[in-house]
Structure 1
Amino acid sequence: MRYVTRRSKFSIVEADADQMSEHYAKTLSPAKVEPLRLGDRISVEDKHYAAGRFSIWSGKCHSGMKVAFSERPDAYAFYLPVSGAMEIAAGRTQLLSTPGTGVVGDISRFEKLTLHADRSHIGVAFDKAAMVSHLSELLDFPVLDRIDLFTTIGTNSGIGARVASVATFLWNCLEAEDGDNVPPAAIERLFEAMVIMILESVPHNYTSRLKRSASPAMPRNLKRAIEYMVAHMSQPLTVSDIAREAGTSVRSLQTAFQQFKETTPLTYLRQMRLDGVRKALSDGANSLPIAEVARNWGFSHLGRFSAVYYNAFGETPSETVKLHCGKAGSTTRRRTEN
């Protein structure tokens, strides 16, 4: 597939809050933009490159402003500050970025960005699917949960400085004159290198797994089998189906699972499904009944599902809902219906 880079650029001087909010809705993401002081005008500049599952931009806010996104992208970002300060609020957590202190985080968690006067930075965004894909490869295990990533990182030394160097090099490559352009495939590899550096060096909820002793690399047919399972989780699957899609025999597939996962293909699939159900039932935002959640994850026989769920987690599905989401409320009552 050809790798295409798109470029956009804008400069807005002395705009009011409504004009800026309208501009963000048209060019970036729906957001409410406000000046730092009531009645002030807003002046910003931005140059942006989008390349497949990645993007990079250079932003300057001369006046200072507050930005609250109403639709937050499902992506991760690295902010490399050049000047000024920016605060990012996510729930009760607030991070401050100033020169020498970058931010790495899940943009879908960002509630409000406060850019102070003369703030400028280089930002790099990575699509969630790209992050999950690379983490799955590093772990040799399908990542089903969110990557909990929201922290500051020093950019003057250590790994932070190296990540910052890649971001700066990427920007310089894309800003080069036409005759000096870096091949698009090389640009893509640089973005991917940043993803891997961040996943392996910045703390998140999978860090402890990454630090464990690496197991031998899984054979390609085993990876294909797991990818097929993940993509068809809700459908009835047999060992023959999985082996066929993985391009191997049933016997070879069973041997590979026993050697690298210490289990059988169908037991591995069932555990992934159970983990998926438990994650969904533990999510306070989920309003689906237990039966529907179970069906979405491939369990068609609800009586048998309840038994294997209890054996796996030591509690019934209803107890999981009550434990994580409380006993009161109509939403919880709907979800605990079997």
Structure 2
Amino acid sequence: MASGPVTPGADTPVHVALRTTDVDEARAFCRRLYYGPMRIEPVGDPARLEFSADVVLLGPITIGEVGYGTDIRLTIGELETSYHVLLPLTGMLRSRHRGAVVYADPTRAAVYRPSGDIELDWPGTCRLISVKVERGALERELDAGLDQRVISPMPLGASFDLVDGPGRTWAALVRLLLSELRGPDALASRPRMAARWRDMVVSGLALSVEHPYGQEPAGLQGPYRPRTVKRALDVMHAEPWRPYTITDLATVAGVGVRVLQESFRQHVGMPPLTYLRRLRLDGVHAELSRADPGRASVSEVAYRWGFTHLGRFAGAYRERFGVSPSHTLRHRG
């Protein structure tokens, strides 16, 4: 176990790990490795806190797998020095940043710019990979491929897809690097190899996250989903409980209903309303998994996520998760 971060720009990775049931120890660890002005408060049962983190520091990037074991609320002021990405491995995370609400899960990452406060509702069922990239490193990567200087901080999109396209590949690269660097005598831990991995993580993020420069240089263009699809996905993730119709979503996307449906089938793999229903079901499942059975009810949670017909909701829930909603509530955690 290392005692602290490496010097920025160094090519020698450093592995730092902690497992504790002491919230103060967990706070100190996260503040030292990530950001000083960070507040971490348990909102679930403090006795169930089982913080675990495996973190690798490699020059301008910090990658860690983190979980708390109980529900927490994390707040932080402006990041200032870094861009940040959260990649849930399990569960769903609710994030608010610069007025945008994002529900991140294993299909969708949350992205943070260096400006604007952040608030996270992080359930105990959610384990994630946290990726911190120094501000200058990502901006230099984009600037190198452009004929114009980028605006700092860059106006990045609030989330990106992890199911297909460049986001899926980048997330797999990050997971593999973390796995390699946590093990002994890994090839990736040698400075020359580590430097190449580091550069791939930074350049891959530049290709995965949405930014206003994506259409400028051919070298930075990736297989992005059409903006029409992204607009519809963004509003669904921002407020999944709203009673959207297919016409509503087509209007947001700026295309006709048939065009939107065909675009979703081609680029998402399912119709828009099917995707919305899955998003809502996953939200209900995440909330029931951490709720107190004595205080919460299935109907209240279902209504909160936009389900108005409880019979159809229960059938869809069982089809997706293999158990009833009430079973999830009774056997939470």
Structure-2-length-normalised TM-score:
0.56
Deviation at 1:27, TM superposition (A): 4.8
What is the distance in 2 between the residues matched to 1:191 and 1:59? 20
What is the distance in 2 between the residues matched to 1:198 and 1:125?
11
Residue 57 (structure 1) aligned with residue 94 (structure 2):
no
Instruction: Determine if contact 1:87/1:97 at 8 Å carries over to the other structure.
Output: yes
User: Does the alignment pair 1:198 with 2:200?
Assistant: no
- Provide the C-alpha distance between the structure 2 equivalents of 1:180 and 1:146, rounded to a whole number of angstroms: 34
Question: Is 1:81 aligned to residue 88 of structure 2?
Answer: yes
Residue identity matched to 2:64 = W
Inter-CA distance 43–201: structure 2 relative to 1 (3 Å threshold): closer
- The yes-or-no answer on 1:12 pairing with 2:20 is yes
Cα distance change, pair 24–58 in 1 and its aligned pair in 2 (3 A): closer
Q: 1:134 aligns with which of 126, 135, 141?
A: 141
Conservation of the 8 A alpha-carbon contact between 2:78 and 2:114: no
Instruction: List aligned pairs for 1:1-338, cutoff 5 A.
Output: 3-13=11-21, 15-16=22-23, 20-28=26-34, 29-37=36-44, 42-70=49-77, 72-178=79-185, 180=187, 182-210=189-217
Shift in CA distance, 21/121, structure 1 to aligned 2, threshold 3 Å: closer
Question: Are the structure 2 counterparts of residues 213 and 24 from structure 1 closer, same or farther at C-alpha, using a change threshold of 3 Å?
Answer: closer
Residue 110 of structure 1 deviates from its aligned partner by 4.5
Query: For the residues of structure 2 that align with 1:167 and 1:39, how far apart are their CA atoms?
Result: 31
Q: Would the alpha carbon gap of residues 181 and 137 (structure 1) be closer, same or farther in structure 2, given more than 3 Å must change? A: closer
Contact 1:7-1:49 within 8 A present in 2 as well: yes
Question: What are the superposed Cα offsets for residues 63-86 of structure 1, whole Å, 9 maximum, x if unpaired?
Answer: 120111246352122322211121
Runs of 4+ with >6 A deviation: none
Q: Following the alignment from structure 2 to structure 1, what is the Cα–Cα distance between the partners of residues 92 and 31? A: 24
Distance 1:22 1:78 in 2: 21
* Inter-partner Cα distance in structure 1 for 2:220 and 2:10: 37
Looking at structure 1, the residues matched to 30 and 208 of structure 2 have their Cα atoms a distance apart, in angstroms, of 32
**Which runs of no fewer than 5 residues in structure 2 stay unpaired?**
1-8, 222-333
| Superposition RMSD in Å | 2.9
Listed as ranges, the gaps of 5+ residues in structure 1 are 215-338
- In the alignment, which residue of structure 1 is the partner of 2:253? none
Distance 1:120 1:107, change over 3 A: farther
Instruction: State the SS of the aligned residue for 1:166.
Output: helix
Q: Deviations over 1:159-216 (max 9, x none)?
A: 22111111122112212322655422222222322322332343213223335999xx
Deviations 1:198-239 (A, max 9, x none): 32343213223335999xxxxxxxxxxxxxxxxxxxxxxxxx
Which stretch has the larger CA shift, 129-138 or 115-124? Answer: 115-124
> Identity of aligned pairs, percent?
17
State the partner residue of 1:300: none
Matched residues in 2 for 1:170 and 1:53: separation?
A: 15
Code of the aligned partner of 2:165: G
Secondary structure at the counterpart of residue 102 of structure 1: strand
Q: Is the 8 A contact 1:46 1:59 kept in 2?
A: yes
Structure with bigger RCO (C-alpha 8 Å, 6+ apart): 2
Secondary structure at 1:147's aligned position in 2? coil
Aligned residues: 212
Q: Is the 8 A contact 2:84 2:113 kept in 1?
A: yes
Shift of the 2–67 alpha-carbon distance from structure 1 to 2, 3 Å rule, reads closer
Could you tell me the TM-score, scaled by structure 1's length? 0.55
- With over 3 angstroms needed to count, the CA separation of the structure-2 counterparts of 1:108 and 1:8, relative to structure 1, is farther
Q: CA deviation at 1:44?
A: 1.3
- Which structure has the greater CA radius of gyration? 1
- How far 1:23 sits from its partner (Å)? 4.9
Change beyond 3 A, Cα 1:191–1:34: same
CA deviation digits over 1:31-68, x for unaligned, max 9?
Answer: 22212248666331111111111111111121120111
8 Å contact kept, 2:13–2:189: no
Partners of 1:182 and 1:21 lie apart in 2 by 28
